[in-house]
Structure 1
Amino acid sequence: MAINTSRTRRAALSALGVITAVGLLAGCGSGTPGEAAGGGGGSEGVTTIQFWHRTFTPVENDWYKDIVKKFNASQKEIKVVDTEVPADAWDQKMKAAQAAGKAPDIYTHSGSIQDAVNAGQLYELNKVVDQSKLDEIIDPAQPVSQIGGKYYAYPLLLEPQTVLFWNKAMLDKAGVDSTKGPETWDDLLAACAKIQPTLAKGTYCISPASDAATFAWSTVGQQYNFAGHTALTDDWTKPDINNDGYKDLMSKYKTLWDKGYMPKQALAAYVEGKDFGQQKVAFKVSGSWMMSEIGSDYKDMLSNTGVGAFPNAANADGRTATTLGNFKWVIDAKSKNAEAAGKFLEWSLAGDPQNLVPFFVGTQFTKVPVRASVQEAVAADEKAADAPWSKVVIDDIAPTAIPEPTYPWDVSLAVGTAMETVMKGAASPDKAIATAEAAIQKVIDRDKLPEKAPKN
């Protein structure tokens, strides 16, 4: 299974109640999971297509429902039937539909597309979407959209998965510069040393990732930042984690743990901002999406929140420390109405930028549009002036973030497990890395990864 961080994040949010699973809703029509792909032609020559998307936040759900309604009202040849699927039920229902040959014509997709393309599940968009529209996809989104020049996905958004947030008042109280975030890990640890003596009982300097699964997906950018590469050799023949870079990264989290700068038991999940909103931590590490929660649930914290790039390793030489998550739309390879699905996709995601502005405004300017024209339209919205973090996310963090890895999730989980083990002192870096190497090698052999290694 390929790493699927957006899915992991959203599933976790669903379980936490940040996203409410509202059951299967038909936003426009009565589509139900499991219907035959396409639905065939309708009355008077109307082509009906099925569109599935996950349950997201209320504002995102409203946008999906609205974009389908607007498209259906814009023309008379195609009718889109919108089905909202609870996030925690998505994988099961999609796999069942695909196995039965009844997948929807078009649906949302998170994580790498490599495995889906290898399995022949995705339709080539070049055949149904104008090339000029595909060319508008910005460079950071290209790796998640196409393979070998053939497009199989059109992104709705990009999301930096590792962003540093800080409580300005707590930093000011400790005599730490609150106008900018720490640039390196050494700066961060020095700040924590000053902040810790000023904290009330039950509050901490920082709330970072702290468990194997979260380390697995949230620290890929940090792994690159410290080591100059991620967990496999370029040809995917063996693990590449037994080096000073990975050991140094693990030791940094052990320092946070040993010195009590972070809580021994997480006060909130990595994906949510409750601990930060309740002012129990001076620094919070999460994805860019956290500002949506702060803006909606902790409005009094908006002016007291600093936002910046995650700190670098001392020898990072400008290498990024965050991974770029994404969410995309794809067309099913077996769709009988791929051309109609392509027209819906092109109109919704690649058409008038104003179709997309409500989505990015509604999500508090925390996500990155994948077209320059949409970025400009979003920035021109009158509410943008009240969201200064948007410029930091779009201009300072996203452009240099690395795409999610395309190797299997089990590889990332082996690294995450090693990081948690070292952090908690259950094993030395050498021993934890040796265990992870053995686990990764099994994945390499099991999945014949050298045959699937990226050619570019």
Structure 2
Amino acid sequence: MRRRGIVLLAIAAVTASTALSGCGGGSEDPAGRTTVTFWQQKFEDYQQAWFKKHVDAYNATQDKVKIDLQVVPADTWAQKLKAAQAAGKAPDIATTSYGNVAPGVAQGQFASLDELLPAEAFTDVKDNVKGFVTVNGKHYAYPMLVEPSTVLYYRTDLVTAAGLDPNSPPKTWADLVQWATKLTKGNVKGMTIASAGPDLGWSSWGLQYNACGRLPVNDDWSKSTATEPCFEKLLDFYKTLYSGGLIPKTPKVGYADGAPYGQGEVAMMAGGSWVIGQLKNDFKAMVPKTAVAAFPSFDGDATKTTATLGGWTLTVDAKSKGKQQAADFVKYLLAGDPALMADFFKTSGFSKYTVRTSVDQALASNPDATSDPFMKVISEKVVPFGRQEPAYPWDISLAFGTAIESAMKGKADVPTSLKTAAAAIDDVIKKQSLAGTAPK
């Protein structure tokens, strides 16, 4: 699921946008079963196999309902879904990112699940995730997983060789700079972190929360807060890493790709939890040399957010003719037997993390989970303190990410970069009439 949906929703040709069938809740297959269409955005191959396996298993137990699984490429997803909704042919069930739940509710796209699922399905969801799928007190999606956007990965062998303690990772941003300085040797940089505006726009959300306890827009989306002094220390942090030569200045890949770390070009990496899957699949020799930690907080307080929690849900179309049948499948797949989702997280190489307490309990007795070198740290020290990705338009995030890049690369000083961001954000607010529209 190598991100990140907010940035990478490319627009495909309109002529192909209605190729998939939708809203099948009222149709019947040759066996007389009601067909429920399920559009699943294409992720990693193992996920496609997992979804198909459990759709087939569910269908084999049903004599009145059939789930029709249709996989849609990520680069055509947005256009196909928009066209299907406009034509009244939206799928009964769809994979939906957390960031798209509130906007979809505002547009009347999703059915409330409170009347379709038992209450205990939502009491099982972790407290810091419930709000991701809740709008005005109602649940409009069922969460599947979370992926922390920012985790610290580091080479234990290089850390030891530099005279540092691999069992005591950096706690503050200042500590991290010191580590990066000592680990920068020869062709190996101390670390890697996002350095381009689009990547900085989303990968820095957790650190924005860490620096200021908020994002650079006020609570009702009526005004930018980007010029608040607390954001200056965030830009100073990025600038220190870049100007000090502690990170690659011309990275070959974006933030979402862990290849520079896997290939030994850097000693530490700020990366999402999904990189674990990449390391296990593509850079197996690096795994025994790698340790993970929560990304440092600016002041060392480990309970402050340093990562947002991206991820995916299943939603039921508000106009579906088979809402209950659709919700019954959602319950089976995501809210039913904890062993089913525990199997998913094992299949993922424990690179994604559960949203349900009962699944945590199931994994606690799973030897593969308990022996995984990364899962315990991320589950206990990152996920509980993660915050939701912002629901405001991407233009706002891009404006702030551009400000970080401007400051870190010396295109403008920190105060000027933040003033430019504030003006751009206020312009977005005005042009898109965002004031007062923040979801509650």
TM-score bucket of the superposed structures, by smaller chain: over 0.9
Instruction: Quickly say closer, same or farther: Cα 1:365–1:181, change in 2 above 3 A.
Output: same
Partner residue of 2:371?
386
**1:249 aligned onto 2:247:** no
One-letter identity of the residue aligned with 2:186: A
One-letter identity of the residue aligned with 2:67: V
State the 1:8 CA deviation.
4.2
Partner residue of 2:143?
155
Partner residue of 2:54?
67
Instruction: Quickly say closer, same or farther: Cα 1:427–1:217, change in 2 above 3 A.
Output: same
CA distance in 1, matches of 2:168, 2:155: 11
State the 1:447 CA deviation.
2.7
Instruction: Quickly say closer, same or farther: Cα 1:317–1:274, change in 2 above 3 A.
Output: closer
The answer on whether the counterparts of 2:22 and 2:92 sit within 8 Å (CA) in structure 1 is: no
Residue by residue, what CA displacement relative to the aligned partner does 1:328-379 show, whole Å, maximum 9, x if unpaired? 0001111111111011101111111122122100111121111111112223
Partner residue of 2:13?
none
CA distance in 2, matches of 1:318, 1:140: 13
Matching residue within 55, 77, 88 for 1:101:
88
SS of the residue corresponding to residue 191 of structure 2 reads strand
Instruction: Quickly say closer, same or farther: Cα 1:396–1:446, change in 2 above 3 A.
Output: same
Gaps of at least 5 residues in structure 1 are 13-23, 25-30
The answer on whether the counterparts of 2:7 and 2:198 sit within 8 Å (CA) in structure 1 is: no
One-letter identity of the residue aligned with 2:430: D
State the 1:35 CA deviation.
3.8
Partner residue of 2:76?
89
Residue by residue, what CA displacement relative to the aligned partner does 1:114-158 show, whole Å, maximum 9, x if unpaired? 110000001111121112212211112111111122110001101
Residue by residue, what CA displacement relative to the aligned partner does 1:33-65 show, whole Å, maximum 9, x if unpaired? 244443513345411010011111111111111
SS of the residue corresponding to residue 326 of structure 2 reads helix
CA distance in 2, matches of 1:95, 1:47: 24
The answer on whether the counterparts of 1:51 and 1:83 sit within 8 Å (CA) in structure 2 is: yes
Q: TM-score, normalised by structure 1?
A: 0.90
Mean alpha-carbon deviation: is it higher for 34-43 or for 74-83?
Answer: 34-43
CA distance in 1, matches of 2:46, 2:296: 31
The answer on whether the counterparts of 2:25 and 2:35 sit within 8 Å (CA) in structure 1 is: yes
One-letter identity of the residue aligned with 2:144: L
Instruction: Quickly say closer, same or farther: Cα 1:253–1:235, change in 2 above 3 A.
Output: same
**1:54 aligned onto 2:41:** yes
- Equivalence map 1:387-402=2 (5 Å): 387-402=372-387
Q: TM-score, normalised by structure 2?
A: 0.94
State the 1:32 CA deviation.
5.7
State the 1:385 CA deviation.
3.6
Partner residue of 1:28?
none
Gaps of at least 5 residues in structure 2 are 11-15
SS of the residue corresponding to residue 218 of structure 2 reads coil
One-letter identity of the residue aligned with 1:379: A
State the 1:242 CA deviation.
0.6
Matching residue within 78, 100, 125 for 2:65:
78
SS of the residue corresponding to residue 190 of structure 2 reads strand
The answer on whether the counterparts of 2:147 and 2:272 sit within 8 Å (CA) in structure 1 is: yes
Matching residue within 223, 228, 236 for 2:221:
236
- Equivalence map 1:4-403=2 (5 Å): 6-8=4-6, 33-38=20-25, 40-43=27-30, 45-112=32-99, 113-196=101-184, 199-201=185-187, 203-314=188-299, 318-403=303-388
Instruction: Quickly say closer, same or farther: Cα 1:41–1:127, change in 2 above 3 A.
Output: farther
State the 1:382 CA deviation.
2.7
The answer on whether the counterparts of 1:204 and 1:281 sit within 8 Å (CA) in structure 2 is: yes
What percent of counterpart residues are identical?
A: 37
Question: How many equivalent residue pairs?
Answer: 432
CA distance in 1, matches of 2:233, 2:359: 40
One-letter identity of the residue aligned with 1:138: K
The answer on whether the counterparts of 1:237 and 1:449 sit within 8 Å (CA) in structure 2 is: yes
Residue by residue, what CA displacement relative to the aligned partner does 1:153-210 show, whole Å, maximum 9, x if unpaired? 00110111100100111111111221232111100111122222xx232x21111011
CA RMSD of aligned residues (A): 2.0
The answer on whether the counterparts of 1:122 and 1:332 sit within 8 Å (CA) in structure 2 is: yes
SS of the residue corresponding to residue 76 of structure 1 reads coil
